[in-house]
Amino acid sequence: MKISYNDLDIKFSMEHINFYALHFVCERFLRSIPSHSHSDNSYEIHYIPFGKGKVKLDHVTYQVVPNTLYVTGPHVEHEQIPDKEDPMIEYCIYLKLEKKSNDKKKEKQGSYLQLFEDTKIWFGQDNQNIHPLMQQIFLELDNKYTGYMKQVENLLQQLVIQLIRNYENIQKSQIQSKTSDLAYSKYLIIEEAFLYDYKDLSLDTLSRLLGLSPRQTERLLLQHYGKTFLQKKSEAKMSAASILLMDPKKRITGIALDLGYSSVEHFSNAFRRYYHKSARDYRKAMNYV
């Protein structure tokens, strides 16, 4: 699985800096990425929602688990090594920075962006809920909704601020932090279940995995994901469907069976409700034919 967007000419400004977003990638690593680095004023944001592996940052090895965030600045050597049993999925956004020549006074006075510029390497667990931001950025790029470029610019500005708050280790709130610590393993169970077992997953099965009743499980999903079990399952299936449709050799009937639908009509109705177009029209629009 690899989704990438290049040459989009996305530019946004924050204080004395112009940001250019040059590359967006979402990929499941089935092979290692050799050591490489980027040029002056280049920053790569890496977020791993699922899977495991290792990364080497300037020859120091770090263990990657779900919810890992790391940033590599100019000339930082980095290498990614996926776990063979549970390969990591990564969102990666490549930014190029340019200081505004007419804003030197503001730069000298200092700004919250100075920490972003000065942090060449950062590795840790995200505590600012970056995953939904990443999902929304790629959703906008994928669907090209009205005003999507401006929306992506706004989302990228939020992302930079969330990164800085991670650097400063600012917790969103003390209550949320404690809840997250207590329920961390449950979040992983939920997310991996919907990622890998969406085809046959039932509410009873998920409840047993979590050690909760079906009612408690539904309450947990609504509280932390804002969705019911059926909505989460539909979301997982539709995400998988969009990937399967990339392969022009796969027939829509076969995709429906692969996703666990009882008939192609059932799949087609579900797909149209979710994406507001047929699977065939979606495939044509994305040039997957």
Q: pLDDT tens for residues 191-227?
A: 788 888 888 899 999 998 888 899 999 998 888 888 8
Q: Which of 121, 118, 113 is CA-nearest to residue 165?
A: 113
| 113 vs 107: CA distance, rounded Å | 9
> What is the rounded end-to-end Cα distance, in angstroms, of the chain?
17
Domain limits, CATH 2.60.120.10, in the chain: 2-167
| 62 vs 162: CA distance, rounded Å | 22
| 87 vs 80: CA distance, rounded Å | 11
- By CB atoms closer than 10 A (0-12, 13-18, 19+), residue 48 is buried
Query: How much is the pLDDT for 103?
Result: 52
| 31 vs 28: CA distance, rounded Å | 9
If residue 11 lies in a helix (H) or strand (E), which one and from where to where?
Answer: strand 2-14
Query: How much is the pLDDT for 108?
Result: 45
> What CATH fold (topology level) applies to the domain 2-167?
Jelly Rolls (2.60.120)
pLDDT tens track for 83-126: 989 999 999 999 999 988 765 554 445 578 999 999 999 999 99
Name the stretches of the chain with pLDDT < 50: 106-108, 172-183
Tokens of residue 38, six digits? 């980027």
Tell me the pTM: 0.59
